[in-house]
Amino acid sequence: MERIPILKLESFLLVSIQVDMHDQLALALQDDLTQKIVATRARAVLIDISALEMVDSFMGRMLGNIASMSRILDAQTVVVGMRPAVAITLVELGLSLPGIRTALNVDAGLALLRAAVERPDVLVDGD
C-alpha cells in the first residue's frame, strides 16, 4: 500500500503530500505521523502541499485533524506552499483552516517553527 513518507529534520518532521489524498491514505498518514512524533519526540510538523493543485473539504478536515492530534502530542503544525488557486478555492468553500498555521514556503515554515519551538508562548495557535 502506498504511503506518504515522513522525514525527520532536527526536531521537526517533514511531510510532503504529492498525491491526491483518499481515506485510506489519510488514515495511514495520521497513524504514521502520530507514531513518529512519539518515537522521535518531534516538536513540530511541517506539511508541504505545494504539489497539490486541488484541495477539497476532506483534505481541509484532514489537515485540521493532523494539527489537532499533533497539538495533543505537544508538536506544532505548519502547512506550507499552498498555491493561490487552492487558497481561493478553500476560501470560497468557507474553509479557512482554523487552528492551522501557514507559511509561504518551507523556508518560512521552518523559521516559524523554530521561533515557536524556542518560545512556545509566542505563537501558540493559528489565527
Q: Residue for cell digits 483518499?
A: 22
- Residue 42 burial (CB count, 10 A): 25
Beta carbon of residue 56, minimum distance to another protein (angstroms, whole number): 14
Q: Are 84 and 54 in contact (CB under 8 A)?
A: no
Sheet of 44-48, strands arranged across: 6-9, 12-16, 44-48, 76-80, 101-103
C-alpha cell at 24: 485510506
Beta carbon of residue 84, minimum distance to another protein (angstroms, whole number): 3
Looking at beta carbons only, is 28 or 87 nearer to another protein? 87
Interface ranges with another protein (CB under 8 A): 78-80, 82-88, 90-92, 96-97, 101-105, 107-109, 112, 127
Looking at beta carbons only, is 1 or 84 nearer to another protein? 84
Beta carbon of residue 41, minimum distance to another protein (angstroms, whole number): 26
Identity of the residue numbered 86: V
- What residue spans of 17-122 are helical by DSSP H? 23-40, 57-72, 84-92, 106-118
Beta carbon of residue 118, minimum distance to another protein (angstroms, whole number): 15
